[in-house]
Amino acid sequence: MKQPKIDPERVKFLNQEKIVSGDYLVYWMQASQRTHYNHALEYTLHRANKLEQPLIVYFGLTSDYPEANLRHYTFMLEGLQEVKKSLDKMNIELVVLNQSPELGAVEIAENASLMVTDRGYLNIERIWREYVAQKVKCPLIQVETDVVVPIETASLKEEYAAATIRRKINKQLEKFLIPLKSSSYPSIKGSLNLGLDSLPLYNMKKILNKLNINRTVESVELYKGGTKQALIHLKEFLDHKLDRFADLRNDPSQEYLSNMSPYLHYGQISPLYIALKVSDTDSPGRDAFLEELIIRRELSMNFVYNNPQYDNILCLPDWAKKTLREHENDPRPYLYSIEEFEEARTHDPYWNAAQKEMVYTGKMHGYMRMYWGKKILEWVDNPVEAYQIALYLNNKYELDGRDANGYTGVAWCFGKHDRAWKEREVFGKVRYMNDKGLKRKFKIDNYVDRVDGIIELIHEGLI
C-alpha cells in the first residue's frame, strides 16, 4: 500500500499522545468539507489501513457559529450531502453531530486510536482544535489542505503586503504544486455501534428546522453548494473566462470571475487542484489568476493567523489608524444609518447595486466590494463604526463572509496591505475611490442593469 505524497510540512501533531488500542480512526472534517483532493482525508485513510481499523469521518454542526445564518447553513449542508454520498461509496461512515464541533470531537474520540483534522485559521477554529488536543487521549494530527503553501512554511510572521509574502511563497511553489493522487484503499468498515445521534443529511429541510439558527437571510438559488457545483464553475471559468481574466477581472460590467470563493470558503474545492488546473494552461490570464488564488488568498490566511485583532479596526497598520483618527471629525458628504446601508438606500446607484447583488445572490463582484467598503468609510461619521458596519454586512450576506478573505477585504478598504496615498478629507492617507473612477474605467451602468435583471429573475422564480 503506497502512501499518498503529502509533504510533512502539511502535517502537525497537536498533542503528544501515543496511538492507543481503539476501535477506529477519526477524520474530524471541519474546514475542508470535501472528499476530492483532500490531504487530510488521504492521510487518515493511509493510517487507518496501516492500522487495519475502520475510519469514521466526523463533522460538528453547531447552531451558533458566529454570524452564520440560514443562507450559510443551506450552502454548507448542500456540500455535506455530497460528502456523505461520496463517503458511502468508499464504505466510510459520516457522523454529523448537532453540537459545538470541539465537544463532539472529544466525544467521538473516546474509543479512537487516532484522530486527524484539517486546519482552520480563524480564532474560533484554532480554539476548537486546541481544546480537543488537550482533552483527547489519542494523537490529534492536523493536516493542512486549504492552502497551496503551508502557512508557516510561507512565513512565520504577519506580512506587511502582497509584495513581502509573494517572494516567500514563490520560493516554495514548485515544491507544493504537486498533484494529490487518491489511492483506492481497501477501507475497512466494522460494525460500529457508536450510539451517537448523527443527523440524517438526506433530509436537509428537517435538519434546518432542527437547528436554532438565524433565519433572516434566505438561501440563494444562483449558487448551490458542493464540490460538483464548484467543478462546474471551474470548468466554465477555464473554458470561457480565464483567457480574458487579466484584462477584465476588475470590470463589474463583465462576468469574468471564477466564482470559486464560496466553495473555497467551505473547503468544498481544493485550492491546490484549482492551481494545478490553471497552471496546466497556457492562457494569458494564468499568472493573474494564480496571483489572486495563491498570493492574495494566502496573504489573507497569514493575516488572520498572525493578527488576533483581524475582526476589528485595531488590525490596521499604525499609519492607517493614525490618519483615520486625525480625520475622524472631518465633515462627511453624506451620512447613512446601518439600516439605510442594509436596504441599499443611498444616493449612489452603483453602491446600491453592489449591496443588492450581495443581498440577493450571496456574492458581490470583487472590484465593487472595494468600492462598497470605501464608501462606507466615507459615509459614516466614525471609522470604528464604519469598520463594524462593513464587517456586519459582509458577514451577514456574503456566502464567503466570515473567513480570512472576507476579513482581509474589509481591512484593505481601511488601509491594510496598502500604502499611504495623497492626504484628503475623511480618508486621510487611505486610498480613495469614487464613482467618477467607475464611470471612467467601465460601462458601470451595465453593471446596475445586470444586477437589476438578476433580481427580477429571482422575483419571478426563474433563478
Give pLDDT tens digits for 167-177.
999 999 999 99
Residue type, 369: R
Region for 426 from its dihedrals, namely left if φ exceeds 0, alpha if ψ lies in -120 to 50, beta otherwise = left
Report, as an integer, the average pLDDT of 409-432: 98
pTM of structure: 0.96
Q: 4 falls in which pLDDT band (50, 70, 90)?
A: low
For residue 303, pLDDT over 60 is answered with: yes
Average pLDDT of the residues of the chain: 95
For residue 194, pLDDT over 80 is answered with: no
Report, as an integer, the average pLDDT of 210-215: 94
Rounded distance between C-alpha atoms, residue 275 and residue 262, angstroms: 16
**Cell numbers found for residue 258:** 471564477
Query: Which residues does residue 428 pair with via DSSP β-bridges, in sequence order?
Result: 424
**Cell numbers found for residue 53:** 481499523
Q: What are phi and psi of 142, to 5 degrees?
A: -100, 130
> Do residues 49 and 27 touch, judged by C-beta distance below 8 A?
no
Reported as a single tens digit per residue, the pLDDT across 367-383 is 999 999 999 999 999 99
For residue 190, pLDDT over 60 is answered with: no
Stated as kind and residue range, the H or E segment containing 50 is: helix 39-51
Residue type, 451: V
Q: Is 123 exposed, middle or buried (0-12, 13-18, 19+ CB in 10 A)?
A: middle
**Cell numbers found for residue 381:** 461619521
Report, as an integer, the average pLDDT of 271-296: 98
- Domains in the chain, please, with CATH? 309-459 (1.10.579.10)
Reported as a single tens digit per residue, the pLDDT across 100-123 is 999 999 999 999 999 999 999 999
Q: Provide DSSP, 314-339.
A: GGS-HHHHHHHHHTTTSPPS----HH
Residue with cell string 452564520: 68
**Cell numbers found for residue 132:** 480537543
Pairing of strands 93-97, 11-13: unpaired
Report, as an integer, the average pLDDT of 194-209: 88
Q: Is 374 exposed, middle or buried (0-12, 13-18, 19+ CB in 10 A)?
A: buried
Rounded distance between C-alpha atoms, residue 446 and residue 439, angstroms: 11
**Cell numbers found for residue 74:** 443551506
Q: How crowded is residue 458: how many other Cβ atoms within 10 Å of its Cβ?
A: 16
Q: 184 falls in which pLDDT band (50, 70, 90)?
A: low
Reported as a single tens digit per residue, the pLDDT across 340-355 is 999 999 999 999 999 9
Three-class SS state of 218: coil
Report, as an integer, the average pLDDT of 328-346: 98
Three-class SS state of 11: strand
> Do residues 263 and 37 touch, judged by C-beta distance below 8 A?
no
**Cell numbers found for residue 333:** 458628504
